[in-house]
Amino acid sequence: MKRWIVALLVLLAVVILVSPGIVGHLAEQNLKNSIRWAESESGDFQVTEEVFDRRWFTAEGRHRIELKHGDLRARIINLTDGAAGDEIPALIVDTRIDHGLVPITSMSRDSGSLMPGLASTVSTLHLDPGDGNLIAVPGTLYSQVRLTGAMVSRYLLESGAIDDEEFQADWEGADVSMTTNSSRRSLRYDGTIRPLTVQTPDASLRLGLSTFDGNSRYTDYGLAVGAIAFSIDSMSVRGADGEELSTGKVTVDASNDLVDGRVNGGTRMTIADISIPGAADVDVAMDISANGLDARALKAITTEFERAQSAVDPDAALAALYPRIEDDLQALLSAGAELRIDRFDVALPQGEVTTTLALTLPQTDAASGFSWAALLLALTASADLRMPVALMDLAQTVRPESAALVAMGILKKDGESYIVNARYEKGLLTVNGAPMPIPLPGR
């Protein structure tokens, strides 16, 4: 019995005292893999390891996250009128890692844990405006790397405020969680951001309580699919001219998936009480979907767009993009697809405007060669619009030429509304039952 006790104590000593050095190496490799994954998630950012000091029980590292040359960087420089030259603010991440199968050293800090794993980390953030004078970013990021390589992270932000001559902000706090698997091919996240306000002499932003919940995973085609739902209780933006745009509750529920090499996706969104200077409040609701998109062709097209956007001269790269995506675009269209707007409603003081739209493109025989004319002949489409008479009367007052839409029969009166019922099939367009032939090449 004593021998078993001694063996157990020796094993425990090995786990606590010897394993940290071994696990520390594994944790460092896991961190490097996570950095590579983070860079691949967004081609606009570059992560640089400035310092990494690995000891037996702990390690400390500093990483710099900055924008690469490309569209986003160029736009930020343009927005700031080049006030800081080509210098762009960078995010500095300082991380302490407690490693070992039982990370006992983590108990000396907040949110420490004895849960077995490769590492337990805590990160603090600083902003480098470009001059090297670091500014502390509120909040702390806690992470655990499980034995399987999965990572669980949580960002906690306490309530606080900043009061500077050129910048004021106050926030009530945030709690954001994220989980990735060992291959970083799947991600789950959720969080709550409590109300916050940001003000400068020229502008201000106010956000009400915000919540979000989502997930994503990489497919064999290299495309990410998943779902996200988020809501913002209210939002207000004031510009340099003093005018303010505000909304009530905003909700978005979007998802996409891959089935038999085809991508299907949809988005539902509602925005209440949109308040625009000089106009009455408006409510908007929409439900949009795209189905049957060829995954291979879609990935090839999006990859070319991403390359163009990250080029040194994004505008020139985008202008020269079409020849590189022409074959893939033709393959995407030849494979067939469906686009639907099942709901696009706008509630105005004069009444509600409702719109639906459906476009269906059947799969065509690629062996017969691609033809834009044949594509248009194969397309079927429908669109329905209903708007209140009072709104049309207002439109004619502002723009008298809009009355021609009624005279041409494009808008047809139906009780207290004007309607448009349009159908397209085999090159023939009918609007409210009246045919309107469309000239097509080769016809």
Local mean pLDDT, 10-residue blocks, the chain (443 residues): 47 42 49 58 68 71 72 52 58 77 50 58 81 81 77 88 83 91 81 92 90 92 91 90 87 95 96 82 94 94 84 82 91 94 93 95 81 88 93 83 80 90 91 77 50
Rg of the Cα atoms in the chain: 28
**Cβ contacts of 237 within 8 Å, gap of 6 or more:** 203, 204, 205, 206, 244, 245, 246
Rounded to whole angstroms, how far apart are CA atoms 244 and 234? 13
Residue 222, sorted as left (phi over 0), alpha (psi -120 to 50) or beta, turns out to be left
Confirm if 211 and 199 have CB atoms less than 8 A apart. no
Domain boundaries, the chain: 1-157
The predicted pLDDT at position 441 comes to 53
Closest CA to 91 of 51, 136, 52: 136
pTM: 0.76
**Cβ contacts of 437 within 8 Å, gap of 6 or more:** 427, 428, 429
The predicted pLDDT at position 159 comes to 93
CA distances from 171 to 87, 158, 201, 287 (A): 28, 8, 18, 33
Strands 417-425, 428-431: pairing is antiparallel
Rounded to whole angstroms, how far apart are CA atoms 119 and 228? 29
**Residue that is written with structure tokens 């291979």 in the block:** 296
The predicted pLDDT at position 12 comes to 40
Confirm if 109 and 97 have CB atoms less than 8 A apart. no
